[in-house]
Structure 1
Amino acid sequence: MEHLFIINPEAGKGRSLEYIEKIKDYFKDVDEPYHIEMTRYPGHATEVVRSYVSHKNYRVYAVGGDGTLNEVLNGIVGTGSVLAVIPCGSGNDFVKNLIGEEPIEDIFISTLRGEEKYIDLGKINNRYFINISSVGFDSEVVYSANTFKKLKYITGSAAYILGILTTLFKFKFIKTAITIDGVKLYKDILLAAIANGRCYGGGVKISPKSDISDGIFDLCVVEKVSKLKIFLLFPKAIKGKHESIKQVSFYSGRSISISSSEEFVLNVDGELLKEKEVSCQLIRKGIKVLFPERKGLSVKEDSYSEAAAHL
């Protein structure tokens, strides 16, 4: 097996760079070829991965946050290479689908010794995603939070809280037409999240029952609510308890589209785009992923759950 490590040097305010020596130390005693590549600009990870996997198959490790993971994913899709995750971003949401809520002592070693399994994949417009794609308030929060994350002393959880507060003052509800496997709904929404995985935004369990291998999307729709109720919604969503709120509905399907007359922010695994219409399809067992070995993980992360007490 040949290994390719894609490292985002900005991830985790530079924590990703610590893995360079770990990688070199590990392969001193392992007779398998490996490569380390550093990303330099948005979209670079996809370009680098494609240049490698177009010639042969690799285990490709996304060393960074969920945005880096999405770029690496989009470079791998359609090949025989395997996707692996070394989480060191501010949220690290997708990896929770692989390891659960319990920590592992050494995510690096556990991943290298992991097991390959196929999972489902999503395609929204011309981009693939592995965890969650969403439109509405939450996407605007990510947009604002990304600005705060660049500040030296702002943690991931604090950035998301500041993002929520900032977005509250400027957000307008979106009039949408939503189609789920041919059935059309017309709703004024706060947000709509198309979920393959369970959580996003640094630990918000927006779709707590989702399974990355069940062959179906879960769609969480939050209709127009008062600003006061938004403050009640997010603490519940952190724990996955928001289903009890009247304006929250869950649907399931394999093909989902969302359109509006006004442009909205689309969040694709943490990557942000501006759209007026999105079309999303599920690809059953669309990619092979490396599941970490289960013997104890300690993924240190900034998360919404750490900030729950402040909301």
Structure 2
Amino acid sequence: MTLNDKRKLIFIINPAAKNGYSLRIWKKLSRQLQDIPYEVFFTEKTNDGANIAKKLAMKDSHPLLIVAVGGDGTIHEVINGIMQFPHVTIAYIPAGSGNDFARGFSLPTDPMKSIEFIEELMDFPATLFDAGTYTTNQGERGFFVNSIGAGFDALISMRGNRSKAKKWLNSISLGKLVYSYYVIKELFCYRPTTLTLEVDGKKRIYDKTWFVTISNQQYFGGGMKIAPHADPRDGEFNITVVHRLSKIKLLFIFMSVFWGGHLKYKEVDSYNGREISIYFEQPVRVHADGEDISETPFYVKILPKSWGLIQK
């Protein structure tokens, strides 16, 4: 990249992330940027991150570095806005409650180290990574970079994200506890159902399925290592199916996911694929990067090396 091709630096900040933690972090970070020109935009409602990023990408054909400041939902929105704009490169400052994106893409998890990382590498060539695209029967379309899934985990994600208790728990850095509460609560009324997957043209059927997760990188759910073998640069998804197990055993599997130990259970299937259609006997919730998007059925496809990230 030549001097004339230096990227314009833009920050998109979700001030509500982690109950205002993101805004407090930004006020500290901005003091380190006094000698660097930049623009800053704040989100106010759902999808603002995508809309702001897309408008910026369409307006300016000059190389841009858009930095998302917030949680996984913030980076999910920003990437949905810049996909298909090759002159835009992404960077990230984790300031949410989960921050699986930072873990999965080997980025600093400390915000202060993140800004130093960005300052050091902001004009270096981007590293290209895979993304996924999804289409639902309800007409929703979009992209994801962490994972997309359906079933029990998507229901827990939806319940937790909508919980009023999450804001209070985030204020004392215990936001993840709300998901544990809903795991226990929903465990006793959730009914596993039959899942049909079509993976690269091959059909697979699982009865009594709790959930299926299609991963682009290793982590989901705030540090759970759901897909230890996923690689966001290999041109494939890693697919995890949990089925035919008791409610008590499901709790043990959820605990073991944090270190990838769930793969040893016979009720957990894991393999790779590029194009997947997902059908449940009864419609179940679907999440993309932890954000509730729709119900099954839906279709996903890998987009190899489709976006650029600042990374060592």
In which range does the TM-score fall when normalised by the shorter chain?
0.7 to 0.9
Letter in 2 for 1:199: Y
Match of 1:74 among 68, 75, 80: 80
- Judged with a 3 Å threshold, the aligned counterparts in structure 2 of structure 1 residues 41 and 266 are, in CA distance, closer, same or farther, namely same
Is 1:123 aligned with 2:130? no
Q: What is the SS of the residue equivalent to 2:233?
A: coil
Mapped partners of 1:200, 1:155: distance in 2: 17
- CA shift for structure 1 position 169: 2.3
Letter in 1 for 2:181: L
- CA shift for structure 1 position 170: 2.4
Letter in 1 for 2:178: A
Is 1:226 aligned with 2:246? yes
- Judged with a 3 Å threshold, the aligned counterparts in structure 2 of structure 1 residues 100 and 4 are, in CA distance, closer, same or farther, namely closer
Asked if 2 retains the 8 angstrom alpha-carbon contact of 1:119 and 1:284, the reply is yes
Match of residue 212 from structure 1: 232
Mapped partners of 1:104, 1:63: distance in 2: 9
The gaps in structure 2 that reach 5 residues or longer are: 1-6, 136-140
Q: What is the SS of the residue equivalent to 1:156?
A: coil
Mapped partners of 1:181, 1:105: distance in 2: 42
Match of residue 298 from structure 1: none
Asked if 1 retains the 8 angstrom alpha-carbon contact of 2:92 and 2:114, the reply is no
Letter in 1 for 2:44: R
Alignment of 1:155-234 (within 5 A): 155-188=174-207, 189-234=209-254
CA RMSD of aligned residues (A): 1.9
Asked if 2 retains the 8 angstrom alpha-carbon contact of 1:216 and 1:252, the reply is yes
Give the TM-score, by structure 1 length.
Answer: 0.88
Q: 1:254-288, CA deviations, whole angstroms, 9 ceiling, x for partnerless residues?
A: 11110124221111001102222111000010100
Q: 1:279-304, CA deviations, whole angstroms, 9 ceiling, x for partnerless residues?
A: 1000010100112x5xxxxxxxxxxx
Mapped partners of 2:310, 2:182: distance in 1: 32
Alignment of 1:25-64 (within 5 A): 25-30=31-36, 33-56=37-60, 57-64=63-70
Q: What is the SS of the residue equivalent to 1:54?
A: helix
Match of 2:266 among 235, 238, 246: 246
The gaps in structure 1 that reach 5 residues or longer are: 294-311
- CA shift for structure 1 position 102: 8.6
- Judged with a 3 Å threshold, the aligned counterparts in structure 2 of structure 1 residues 90 and 212 are, in CA distance, closer, same or farther, namely same
Match of residue 132 from structure 1: 147
Q: What is the SS of the residue equivalent to 1:13?
A: coil
- CA shift for structure 1 position 100: 6.7
Q: What is the SS of the residue equivalent to 1:184?
A: strand
Match of residue 16 from structure 2: 10
Asked if 1 retains the 8 angstrom alpha-carbon contact of 2:17 and 2:71, the reply is yes
Match of residue 274 from structure 1: 294
Give the TM-score, by structure 2 length.
Answer: 0.88
Match of residue 115 from structure 2: 108
